[in-house]
A and B are shown apart, each in its own frame.
Chain A
């Protein structure tokens, strides 16, 4: 399976994301914001960081890159799975590939800590711990998205609506989450629960 790890100017979690994907058996490649065709990839990963500095609003500038254009056609062709972590999630929302928006945390501060979560995928619920690191991670949506939520905070760190930490689109082909699964992958001190998320993506790909 082939995965693209997107690197915008200002992205800074690509190395860990790539390493985690490779540990899960993916063949990976970095792609930049000018990439116009993603058809060779089974899976597109938008990793964390601060694309273009995120000065206006998280993901606002990244939205206007050729890469995001090619994501639209990737989705249209139903080619593969798209996953956005942290800044990647923000970009997916900003690009309307996922519903809702990620706005400034209630505490108005950057929050970096390990957080307990409930993973709820295909009917099985499980408690996991993942690190979060963001200042604009409060999920907001006017309406009900509960059927698409697969990850909820057990101790809400940012004021997210309905404790939403991660959700997918109605076809389960696009998913976004604020916590960093790639940071809970290689090191016992931060646990290995991140592997659960990569497993879901791999299973979804297998499902076809």
Chain B
């Protein structure tokens, strides 16, 4: 068997198969028993998550129910391909996640992305950033799916190890949703691009560390064709509306093999695949390569024989190739035939049910303990700190990115990027808006994966709440180093437990997800990067709350108050200004979270609230800075509320990141304050929007100067 399959796994396969697999079967097992397809190290842990209230979490993508519709959304990683070939890697990442949504007969209507790169100051990193951004642009724009929101994080831990997590969302009437399981006695049709050698072995490639020589890995990267994807979307939606079409799945990782075997396994029936029937892009392609090819833009359908002519007619209309590649029948085997000869017949419960590792018990290593106990004694003067934070790649506008992505196509987009914390779609079918956002907090997860992942989920939650949306459910992408490492095992397990506990407390289920391990290279690994994508709901008759300020707005902080004893471990300012990572991470206050949500919604309904934003990266001043620059408005106020604070404490109070806080604005100071008092809401008056300077506690900064950096820093860095 191929060298990349672990010896113990080989033994396990032979034991379960009760024979030695043949050469073709070796390839099948190598793919399906890989981390990427089989979730060997994560499956047991993922079962811990809270799925209660989610819609079809076992399908290609899960979702939430709104009225008579399903809103399906899922995030997927394309990290390894983007490290090797950023443009195609990102493009096919988008392509793959679109198909997951499409398979349910849901029209994909929105894309989001969470991107992580090293600082954009080397040629290599700039190449990766430009390639990924253009890949998303060329693919998503051409497919006609708007790219409505996302995040970009810069940290040196992502050097040569970029993370590209893309999310898609789609809508479908519940009675039209199609599932993926085969049933007995159906014909199986493959629709779309002709199968070729591109991406062969991609699943196995994504299941290990990257090799030193990137060129050797290029063969594993798929190549996308957005025009064919656009046709495939329209054709698939027409086909899935036909009577007699039973199930559907996309061809993603491990191509035809993984899609058809999974469909058969789920449907508890046998499937016989005739390789001669598969439409191919080239001659001289081996059976195992046909099975494992990751040629893009292909979908698999199972249907009654009577529906075949209609399916081929639709394929022809969209100028797509289609072939009837096999059939299903009573049984439990996966059978591959060529020239009427059986090349392989394996029991589905062996093929599709790989051995799973136990990661537990796990232990907090001395290294993590040491980090947590570290105290930040470093400081700098406030003027320098503010100027430095204002030119932090992590805080400035993402305009350079989102202006390359069509955020308006499709006619559903409701707000411009960065005008709220979320992307918003109009969903007139159910008289509502739906919003989506994505968040990651690698620094907090590095220090405390349990609290870090909770705080990540809560950041998304607060993004939705600050825009006026009721959170409904979330998807997640767990990006980690090798699961063989003890620290990774520990942080992975704790992250899952953090997500579970937080999700239970917020009564917001996980609906779908993805795991990406092996994000490490020689002597180097990424911080645990738990990415959350969340979906929320708002009645169409209510206003979406903006984050921007206007002249004369009065600015308040509500929620937890920061003081000299607050835990601010994992705050961006420590890393960016002082090159320090350590200390305890703050714990959220779930009871207060709920009170603040009700407060914001109630102030909105009373028309006292003008705008709201959650306090996240960069703390109070970081958040204010972003909104003031985006709104092009000055501010005068008081932000430091400790007597005789020295520079170290001032830094903490201004930039420290604690949980459960929002900044809101009003033009009705009196009513707002009496609401706070009556309802016992913890609040602090920060100041007023006025003039063209940012002034607080004796400090003064020119808005225009800060704003120039806010708007142009990334463009200047990436286009020089």
Contacts and interface: CB of A to CB of B under 8 A. Distances in A.
A25 interface: no
Interface string A46-73: 0011101111000000000000000000
A10 B225 CA distance: 12
B400 to A, nearest CB: 9
B138 interface: yes
B416 interface: yes
A95 B318 CA distance: 23
B230 A112 contact: no
B408 A55 contact: no
Interface string A1-18: 000000001101101100
A156 interface: no
Interface stretch (A139-147, A164-172, A183-191): A183-191
Contact of A114 (B228, B231, B404, B416): B416
Interface in B351-403: 402-403
A30 interface: no
A65 to B, nearest CB: 12
Interface string A176-208: 000010110011011000000000000000000
Contacts of B319: 9
A19 B226 contact: no
A133 B141 contact: yes
A116 B230 CA distance: 31
A54 B225 CA distance: 11
A119 to B, nearest CB: 20
Contacts of B402: 112
Contacts of A187: 414, 426
Given A50-B226, A110-B137, A114-B416, A9 B231 contact: yes
B405 A112 contact: yes
A189 B416 contact: yes
A111 interface: yes
Contact of A110 (B141, B230, B318): B141
B415 interface: yes
B409 A12 contact: yes
Nearest to B405: A112
Contact of A12 (B144, B228, B416): B144
Contacts of B230: 9-10, 12, 50, 53
A189 B419 contact: yes
Contacts of B415: 189
Nearest to B419: A189
Interface of A: 9-10, 12-13, 15-16, 19, 48-50, 52-55, 109-114, 131, 133, 135, 180, 182-183, 186-187, 189-190
Contacts of B409: 12-13, 48, 133
Given A52-B227, A53-B142, A133-B141, A189 B318 contact: no
A182 B411 CA distance: 9
Nearest to B416: A189
Given A10-B142, A19-B411, A187-B426, A133 B227 contact: no
B414 A112 contact: no
B404 A111 contact: yes
B406 interface: yes
B406 A53 contact: no
Contact of B318 (A9, A48, A180, A190): A9
A110 B408 contact: no
24 contacts: A9-B230, A10-B230, A10-B231, A12-B143, A15-B410, A16-B411, A50-B142, A50-B227, A53-B142, A53-B227, A55-B227, A110-B138, A110-B141, A110-B405, A111-B404, A112-B141, A113-B403, A131-B408, A133-B406, A133-B408, A180-B408, A183-B411, A187-B414, A190-B408
A10 B226 CA distance: 9
A182 B409 CA distance: 10
Contacts of B138: 110
Contacts of B426: 187
A10 B141 CA distance: 11
A158 to B, nearest CB: 12
Contacts of A111: 403-404
Contacts of B406: 110, 112, 133
A22 to B, nearest CB: 13
A52 to B, nearest CB: 6
Interface in B80-127: none
Interface of B: 134, 137-138, 141-144, 225-228, 230-231, 318-319, 402-411, 414-416, 419, 426
Pairs of residues from A and B, 5 with the lowest C-beta to C-beta distance, nearest first: A12-B144, A53-B227, A16-B411, A50-B142, A110-B137
User: Is chain B's interface secondary structure helix, strand, loop, or mixed overall?
Assistant: loop
A54 B409 CA distance: 17
A189 B416 CA distance: 7
Nearest to B426: A187
Contacts of B225: 53
Contacts of B414: 187, 189
Contacts of B419: 189
A9 B142 CA distance: 11
Nearest to A20: B411
A109 B404 contact: yes
Contacts of A50: 141-142, 144, 226-227, 230
Contacts of A112: 141, 402-408
B568 to A, nearest CB: 35
A28 to B, nearest CB: 14
Nearest to B137: A110
A183 B142 contact: no
A168 to B, nearest CB: 25
A50 B144 CA distance: 9
Contacts of B231: 9-10
Contacts of A189: 414-416, 419
Contacts of A113: 403
A10 B227 CA distance: 6
B553 to A, nearest CB: 19
B139 to A, nearest CB: 11
A15 B411 contact: yes
A110 B227 contact: no
Given A109-B403, A183-B411, 17 more contacts: A9-B227, A9-B318, A10-B227, A10-B230, A12-B410, A13-B409, A50-B230, A53-B227, A109-B404, A110-B138, A110-B405, A114-B416, A131-B408, A133-B408, A135-B137, A187-B414, A190-B416
Nearest to A55: B227
A54 to B, nearest CB: 8
Contacts of B143: 12
A10 B138 CA distance: 13
Contacts of A13: 144, 409, 411
Contacts of B407: 112
A15 B228 CA distance: 20
Contacts of A55: 227
A49 B409 CA distance: 9
A10 B408 CA distance: 16
Nearest to A187: B414
Nearest to B318: A9
A111 B407 CA distance: 10
A113 B419 CA distance: 13
A186 B426 CA distance: 11
Contacts of B403: 109, 111-113
B281 to A, nearest CB: 17
